Amino acid sequence: VEVPATCQAAVLVEYGRPLEIREVPIPEVEPNAILIRVEMAGVCGTDVHLHQGAVGAPVILPVIPGHEGLGRIARLGQGRTHDAVGEPLRPGDRILWSHAWCGRCYWCDIAREPTLCRNATTYGLRQSEEQPFLTGSFAEYEYLVPNTRVVKVPEELSNEEVVGASCAFRTVVSAYDRLNRVGGVGTQDSVVILGAGPIGLYSTLLATEGGAGQTIVVGAPRARLELAREWGADHVINLDEVPDPSQRKAEVLKLTSGRGADVVVEAAGVLSAFGEGLEMVRPGGRYLEIGQTHGAATTPVAPAKIHDNLVVIGNKSATIVHFYKALHFIKNKRHRYAFGKMVSNTYPLTRVNEALASMKAGREIKAAIVP
Ligand SMILES: [Zn+2]
Ligand SMILES: [Zn+2]
């Protein structure tokens, strides 16, 4: 495979300013590293926050955003022969990759919570002095550092079907794995999903497939709620039509015999949604928190709701385990669900700013960049 000396990348130079398309050098591939030819990069709500300078973690600018990459191997570093499952890797193979947790710190080794690792190389989110620059997916090529875990994408799947597995879906799979440790979604349980973005939509899917009796999705706009219905929601509550939280709570209580839902999944990410979800879960139920990434920001809640035997469990990001499971969920269930509908629009790299604006305005289910 021919690899040029430089490639185009969309660079965030200053918060709030349009990303600049720049010509960036492609690094030499060190042992165990991988150079990717990016085929598609999803645009995440987090990219919108990063663009505005509203992410908790420290970021050194300039940075190449894009952490939902999907691409083919252009160069394999010496010694990199197999993916995380043990499948052989060759140039031309299409793969997904996780952030590169260090694998030798308290969080990785002792706590066994690699997504909490403080030394991770994260793609498209922050830049450090040591990290190669070409490590965001809003670019023609992307460099994966040596300890990055990767999985091969089954060839029969389209990029549109798969790209959501590189962020939202793998996170939801990880979150449901944690929820399952504390009871999960029981047979015929009622489930409320707060949020109808990609995290909320995949959460709807896993609730449906997990045996929920009744799934209620609270979100907006209509296009996202229609997809939620296709993916198993029995009831939807449109935020545009029911703007009053107390009225939304009343609707949920009416649908759940006045007790509240057995399981509530907070996937909205709006700070006030956490308290709203607590009002909708039944005593002794389970509350899964996936959406909140607001650092130290606080919101009022009634702690007595938790005192009533409630289990609250959170989830941050995912490891390669969950990428693998998400991919195989798509492969095994694609005859039943149109996973490709997750991508509502694609944009060339040169129109990345339009894609960000469209995501910010809530006009997309998910926008994707095709470099
Ligand atoms: Zn994301
Ligand atoms: Zn670590």
Cα 202 to averaged position of ligand 1 atoms, centre (Å):
13
Residue 247 class from Cβ within 10 Å (0-12 exposed, 13-18 middle, 19+ buried)?
A: exposed
Cα 91 to averaged position of ligand 2 atoms, centre (Å):
29
Give tens-digit pLDDT for 304-338: 999 999 999 999 999 999 999 999 999 999 999 99
| Amino acid at residue number 264 | V
Cα 152 to averaged position of ligand 2 atoms, centre (Å):
24
Mean pLDDT for all residues in the chain: 95
Buried b vs exposed e over 65-81: b needs ≥16 C-beta within 10 Å?
bbbbbbbebbbbbeebe
Q: Which numbered ligand comes closest to the C-alpha of 106? A: 2
Q: Which numbered ligand comes closest to the C-alpha of 103? A: 2
**What's the pTM?**
0.96
Distance between CA atoms of residues 176 and 206, nearest Å: 8
| Amino acid at residue number 316 | K
Give the per-residue pLDDT at 291: 86
Give the per-residue pLDDT at 297: 86
Give tens-digit pLDDT for 75-102: 999 999 999 999 999 999 999 999 999 9
Cα 169 to averaged position of ligand 1 atoms, centre (Å):
9
CA distances to 22, 24, 167 from 70, rounded to whole Å, are 21, 19, 11
Cα 146 to averaged position of ligand 2 atoms, centre (Å):
14
Cα 111 to averaged position of ligand 2 atoms, centre (Å):
10
Cα 94 to averaged position of ligand 1 atoms, centre (Å):
19
Distance between CA atoms of residues 353 and 345, nearest Å: 13
Cα 198 to averaged position of ligand 1 atoms, centre (Å):
9
Cα 68 to averaged position of ligand 1 atoms, centre (Å):
6
Q: Which numbered ligand comes closest to the C-alpha of 121? A: 2
Two structure tokens written together for 308:
């009533």
Distance between CA atoms of residues 6 and 25, nearest Å: 4
The torsion angles phi and psi of 33, rounded to 5 degrees, stand at -80, 170
DSSP state of 129: S
Q: Which numbered ligand comes closest to the C-alpha of 107? A: 2
Helix, strand, coil in percent for the chain, rounding step 5: 30, 25, 45
Give the per-residue pLDDT at 294: 78
Q: How sure is the predictor about 60, in pLDDT bands with cuts at 50, 70 and 90?
A: confident
Cα 104 to averaged position of ligand 1 atoms, centre (Å):
25
Cα 253 to averaged position of ligand 1 atoms, centre (Å):
32
Cα 122 to averaged position of ligand 2 atoms, centre (Å):
12
Q: How sure is the predictor about 346, in pLDDT bands with cuts at 50, 70 and 90?
A: very high
Q: How sure is the predictor about 56, in pLDDT bands with cuts at 50, 70 and 90?
A: low
Residue 98 class from Cβ within 10 Å (0-12 exposed, 13-18 middle, 19+ buried)?
A: buried
Cα 44 to averaged position of ligand 1 atoms, centre (Å):
4
